Amino acid sequence: MPTIIIVVALVIGLVIFAGVYTDFLWFDQLGYSEVFWRQKLAKLLIFLAAFLVMGAGVYFSIRTAYKARPVYAPDSQRDDNLNHYQMQLEPVRRVVMIGVPAVFGLFAGTAAMAQWDKVLLFIFRVPFGKTDPQFGMDISFYTNTLPFLGFLVGLLISVAVISFIAGLLTHYLYGAVSLTERGIFTSRAAQIHLAVISSVFLVLLGINFWLDQYATLLNNGGYRAGAMFTDVHAVIPTKAILAVAAVLVAILFVVAAFIGKWKLPLIGTGMLIVTAIVAGGIYPWAVQGLQVTPSEGSVEAPYIGRNINSTRDAYGLSKIDVVPYNATTTATAGALRKDADTAASIRLLDPNLISSTFAQLEQYRPYYKFPKTLNVDRYTIDGKVQDAVIAVRELNPNGINPDQQSWYNQHLVYTHGYGVVAAYGNTVTADGKPVFMQSGVPSTGVLGTDTSYQPRIYFGQSTSEYSVVGAPDGKAPIELDRPQGSTTTSSDTPANESLTTFTGNAGPSIGNWFNRLLYALKFQSSDLLLTNGVNDKSQILYDRTPIERVAKVAPYLTIDGNPYPAIVDGKVKWIVDGYTTSSTYPYSQQQQLQEATTDSLTAANGVGALPNASVNYIRNSVKATVDAYDGSVQLYAWDTEDPILKTWENIFPATVKPISEMSGDVLAHVRYPEDLFKVQRELLGRYHVTDPSDFFKNTLAWSVPDDPTTTAVDKQPPYYLSLKVPGADKPAFSLTTDFIPQEVKGTDSRNILYGFLSANGDAGNVKGVKGDDYGKLQLLELPDATQVPGPGQVQNTFQSDPTVSDQLNVLKLGQSDVINGNLLTLPIGGGMLYVQPVYVKSTGSTSYPTLQRVLVAFGNKIGYAATLNAALDQLFDGDSGAAAGDANVVKDPAAAGSSTEGSKAPPSANPALAKALSDANQAIKDGQAALAKSDFAAYGVAQKSLQDALNAAIAADSAAAPTPSATPSATPSATPAP
């Protein structure tokens, strides 16, 4: 039996060691071993401290009780039973006296170890330079000191309580405490022992009451956080009274223990309980009910003002630029001339819809994949900034042929994706496909070729399995690199596919048997230990997603849910936003991150939202990059004024680089982070109101509209697009969102546009110099009287307009679906312009959406055409002015001067289209009649006639429309589909 126990202990120890050692190898390979050691050392020291404090407290309590045991012969049945237990315990007494404290110490140490960040934040704290409005304490007291003190006092209270219980049970076991007919008998030594522990507990309770004064500033009841009138005038004073009372009662316990009179401490304890009930509950309730509630709006106004100011400061909203925007709802000719730059760059490709389009045109092999939602970025092409929809062709392990899904293939052959695919955001081909600026295998395009940038993607958002890569020079490669042909064999390696060997430094070495054995234990894989595919140059790649890698090297950051790729400095790099957060900023409103960052996209995809945590302070303090080829991670201090980041830089020095070391190429692709924007817009729905009286009434609150393009009830996501906001000199790559009146459940809310928020995401492109306008938040406030339609109203108008409905029905006929793209809002032309691309997708298994029409709206007027320019001309009486400011804009003569009835003749004015629709209708009727008679032969003939009629209708409809470039921008040559 002892041998088995020893073997089991050794195996468990080896597994634990394998986990720790391989973690060290991972951090060391990345150059962040300091993070590993400091974090482990901090946890170890905190564990030991808590273990010793709890263990020593319990041990000395038991030891004191044992030494104070009475020595006498048993004179009753109860004493005889106790003596029997004592005799049984005696052989193992020493072990028990050490083992029990050790067990409690282990529990305490394990729990305390999880609070390592609170301890380090306290030790290395950096002041905010701002004070709270109630006590005048620096904000760092609440974010760094108060959490640590709360943790420390909580630990010591636990030690006192468990030590008291352990001492009491020991006294009872050895007869110093007993139940008699006269009551409870307690020896003199036991009285002193338990009284001292009780007094320590009361002192700690008093300290806890005192800290509770400050904690009232963190209250989060209702829709306003912080200490309100009742807290300031009733709760805080009573907390101070209770703290003093607890210390006085503690003194009474010590005195009574030595003089043997327990009347005063017992009375004091009773008074403390009564005071806690009256002062802590009844008195604040009376103040609230009698003094606050009758005049709540005026009484609470100063404290609501504190909440407004603190919340706006904590979420980076204090410097928001609020601009009254008297938007017109009347479209006039030439209204877009001043906004020609914005109109020419309006993004029509919807990154949330065209993933399958990218897949059909650019995936090439089933072992590649694109994410469900693509990313929006911008690139400078021929001196002009172009919005781009971009994605990387990642490895898809599930796409490997089931017959080839061996361990060898999954971990040694299929190791990486290949290349970046990017399309112009405002341009499509004649048949509605994306126009690629970067595509193909090998990778070609205006962003680079295989020789100008490294296209291999070893680290990506879909890369979850570990891979073994690397081989000595001259050894035949085994990694599948990229497709060169269209055939495959049943062997491990597909035919006509090029092979490669990874040559970088991306993972820990497993070239020796020791490391190889430990990683085999870590991944529980005997194949890794026994395979002949591992050599002395082999590296193992794991934790390969950008979020995982940044989260491990910067464990103090909350990571944005949407990393995005960019070709920078000759490499594909993932750009990742990291946030420092706190939940203890005084008077700031708590915000649930997952709720705030969930919208129609994250709900549909199941990914992208932040974790389920509540915060009341957030900063985008770090920008990180992850190299898609070698996985290297670089952290840059983005918000250099953030005190919490400064604290973490003290904890982990030299791990975060100054922004001066960020290249201009990376800076050019930095954008305003999406999740931070979602959190800010959620708060701004209420906190755009800065007058306490109006805030209390809550009549001016806004909400983010539901996404009108989906059937699910989820918030509309924010959208990236290049935009020149009112008052700006030039367009900027921005993140935008709409606001409508706050929706009240059970009522019919008005979907009127009340506000439009944009965040400037242009950081410049000069090495180490962040643009002055980056991060600027501008809020356009629309007057109530203007009645600008909101997104829901606009979408309803699109769907109910007879002309639009008739023409959409043409696209819907047959086996096709019409899909509404993202509904963009742009403050141009003196009002609010809505633009929505319309996609058509057949129902076949290999179908994909193509852009076929564009819907636009301005006020209550809409336009619908095959091109954006033509649709805008419908709105603005044939002269939108969208092309006036851009010499590269192609203005279709057929679209210019078109009436508001459409850019092409309606069906009634197009004989060929009318006949085709009539034939299609008759074919449908014939088919239904044939089915009713179970005449399947006739049904087949009817379906053939229907298909012919639909083809004729589409041809007639296209002939009546201008060539669909779907944009006023020049159309580059389309990349041919593979």
pLDDT > 90? residue 546: yes
Instruction: Locate the DSSP E strands across 501-652.
Output: 539-541, 558-559, 564-568, 571-582, 591-592, 614-615, 617-627, 633-637
Determine how β-strand 617-627 pairs with β-strand 614-615. unpaired
Task: Report whether 478 contacts 533 (CB < 8 A).
Answer: yes
Gyration radius of the chain's alpha carbons: 35
Cα separation, 715 vs 156, whole angstroms: 46
Task: Report whether 350 contacts 838 (CB < 8 A).
Answer: no
> Pseudo-torsion of CA 8, 13, 16, 18, nearest 10°?
-110
Closest CA to 959 of 924, 920, 909, 923: 909
Cα separation, 814 vs 847, whole angstroms: 14
Indicate the range of 441-450, 532-541, 955-964, 965-974 predicted with least confidence: 965-974
pLDDT > 70? residue 758: yes
Task: Report whether 762 contacts 774 (CB < 8 A).
Answer: yes
Q: How many other β-carbons are positioned within 10 Å of the β-carbon of residue 429?
A: 21
The mean per-residue pLDDT over the stretch 897-919 comes to 52
Cα separation, 737 vs 707, whole angstroms: 11
Closest CA to 635 of 571, 592, 576, 692: 576
pLDDT tens, residue by residue, 332-344: 888 888 888 888 8
Q: How many other β-carbons are positioned within 10 Å of the β-carbon of residue 892?
A: 20
Question: Prior bond to 802 cis, omega within 30?
Answer: no
The larger pLDDT score, comparing residue 186 to residue 895, is at 186
**What's the pLDDT at 82?**
61
Task: Report whether 587 contacts 306 (CB < 8 A).
Answer: yes
**What's the pLDDT at 220?**
87
**What's the pLDDT at 408?**
94
Distances (CA, A) of 267 to 207, 241, 249, 262: 21, 17, 9, 9
Range of 265-279, 728-742, 941-955 with top mean pLDDT: 728-742
pLDDT > 80? residue 724: yes
Cα separation, 732 vs 675, whole angstroms: 19
pLDDT tens, residue by residue, 204-221: 999 999 999 999 999 987
Q: Is 659 left (phi over 0), alpha (psi -120 to 50) or beta?
A: alpha
Q: One-letter amino acid identity for 830?
A: G
**What's the pLDDT at 485?**
57
Query: Strand, helix or coil at 856?
Result: strand
Determine how β-strand 755-760 pairs with β-strand 732-741. antiparallel
The mean per-residue pLDDT over the stretch 620-626 comes to 97
**What's the pLDDT at 7?**
84
Cα separation, 562 vs 872, whole angstroms: 33
Cα separation, 572 vs 30, whole angstroms: 18
Cα separation, 976 vs 978, whole angstroms: 6
The larger pLDDT score, comparing residue 226 to residue 76, is at 226
pLDDT > 80? residue 936: no
Q: How far apart are the first and last CA of the chain?
A: 67
* DSSP conformation letters of 766-817: BTTB--TTTT-EEEEEPPGGG--B-HHHHHHHHHH-HHHHHHHHHHHTTTEE
Task: Report whether 892 contacts 868 (CB < 8 A).
Answer: no
Percent of the chain with pLDDT over 90: 61
pLDDT tens, residue by residue, 164-184: 999 999 988 887 877 766 667
pLDDT > 60? residue 127: yes
Q: Cα 69–74–75 angle (5° rounding)?
A: 130
Q: How many other β-carbons are positioned within 10 Å of the β-carbon of residue 641?
A: 11
The larger pLDDT score, comparing residue 978 to residue 53, is at 53
DSSP state for residue 92 in the 8-state scheme: G
Burial call 806-824: b when 16+ CB within 10 Å, e when fewer: ebbebbebbebebbbbbbb
Of the pLDDT bands very low, low, confident and very high (cuts 50, 70, 90), residue 75 is low
Task: Report whether 544 contacts 537 (CB < 8 A).
Answer: no
Task: Copy the structure tokens of residue 648.
Answer: 């973490």
pLDDT > 90? residue 491: no
pLDDT tens, residue by residue, 350-381: 999 999 999 999 998 999 999 999 999 999 99
Q: One-letter amino acid identity for 127?
A: P
Cα separation, 761 vs 607, whole angstroms: 23
Percent of the chain with pLDDT over 70: 87
The mean per-residue pLDDT over the stretch 218-232 comes to 88
**What's the pLDDT at 794?**
94
pTM to 2 decimals? 0.86
pLDDT tens, residue by residue, 879-904: 666 543 333 333 333 333 333 333 34
pLDDT tens, residue by residue, 11-67: 888 889 999 999 999 999 999 999 999 999 999 999 999 999 999 999 999 999 988
Determine how β-strand 394-395 pairs with β-strand 384-392. unpaired
Q: One-letter amino acid identity for 640?
A: T
pLDDT > 60? residue 558: yes
By CB neighbour count within 10 A (0-12 exposed, 13-18 middle, 19+ buried), where does 465 fall?
A: middle
Of the pLDDT bands very low, low, confident and very high (cuts 50, 70, 90), residue 847 is confident
**What's the pLDDT at 414?**
94
Instruction: Locate the DSSP E strands across 327-445.
Output: 368-369, 375-381, 384-392, 394-395, 417-418, 420-428, 434-439, 444-445
Element (H, E) at 47: helix 33-67
Indicate the range of 73-87, 310-324, 557-571, 924-938 predicted with least confidence: 73-87
Distances (CA, A) of 312 to 585, 638, 740, 781: 11, 20, 20, 17
**What's the pLDDT at 759?**
96
The larger pLDDT score, comparing residue 737 to residue 844, is at 737
The larger pLDDT score, comparing residue 840 to residue 913, is at 840
Q: How many other β-carbons are positioned within 10 Å of the β-carbon of residue 73?
A: 7
pLDDT > 70? residue 72: no
Task: Copy the structure tokens of residue 314.
Answer: 């904590």
The mean per-residue pLDDT over the stretch 388-394 comes to 96
pLDDT tens, residue by residue, 661-711: 999 999 999 999 999 999 999 999 999 999 999 999 988 999 999 999 988
Average pLDDT, the chain: 86
Of the pLDDT bands very low, low, confident and very high (cuts 50, 70, 90), residue 931 is low
The mean per-residue pLDDT over the stretch 581-598 comes to 95
HSE-CB for 182 with a 13 A CA cutoff? 3
